[in-house]
Structure 1
């Protein structure tokens, strides 16, 4: 299963992972200037930085084996693909009840943008997540790992 792994010792809290994630999921797809200057309904980052003093690390969705967010979802919009292990949210089906946010033990599901009432979470961006590609210190790594590893 594909996962984002964090090398905490390399993270400097620059938040470029958050910025590039926002741009990748915006209407302007990967255009930073247009995303931050023109997109009035800019999306939320699907990865977050936790920081306390000089210690910081990125916090993406863990795509849990037993995904509490999927179990809690009342509309069936939050699903887990059994083959890939990817937990996704169908924004068309999401009713904005926020039970997935309350159920996530890692706090990585958020409200999408400022005006849209749907949940947002890491979708791993296809082949290689943009947060991993854009991390200047290589603090984020995307790898396939066997279950239980």
Structure 2
């Protein structure tokens, strides 16, 4: 099972990962972002595909669910009731509504549509974003 790992000390705030996310998902909004923390350092924010995801626990319809095979938290827009409970429940503030499709949730899908994996990992010029194998 692979997860995105972020080395904040390497991040220069170039937004290449944000642009890569937009391009990979053919969207106008990214599913990740970069903020500046209290020490004025860049802090990339990505879905952590939590072991015990609050977004899944609060989802009334099952639109947010944990894939037991991959360990990824997945989103099915066809099942979504647009209640935004998942957005409110995420302790990391990662989830948001799509600015164009107001009834859809923007969530990292680890670029499962790409054979090469997450584009943000591939394109990060500082190698601040890597893919790491983790044990279940």
- Confirm or deny a common fold (TM above 0.5): yes
- Aligned counterpart, 2:30: 45
Counterparts of 1:58 and 1:132, CA distance in 2: 12
TM-aligned CA deviation for residue 76 of structure 1:
1.1
**How many residues were matched structurally?**
132
Mapping of residues 27-66 of structure 1, within 5 Å: 42-52=27-37, 54-66=40-52
- 1:10–1:138: 8 Å Cα contact kept in structure 2? yes
Which of 127, 135, 149 does residue 124 from structure 2 map onto? 135
| Match of residue 65, structure 2, among 63, 79, 86 | 79
User: Could you state the TM-score of these two structures normalised by the residue count of structure 2?
Assistant: 0.90
Query: Where in structure 2 are there 5+ consecutive unaligned residues?
Result: none
Q: Residue 108 of structure 1: SS of its match in structure 2?
A: coil
RMSD: 1.5
1:31-71 per-position Cα deviation (integer Å, ceiling 9, x unaligned): xxxxxxxxxxx442111112146400211111111111011
Which residue of 1 is the match for residue 93 of structure 2? 107
The 4+ residue runs of structure 1 with deviation greater than 4 A are: none
Unaligned ranges ≥5, structure 1: 27-41
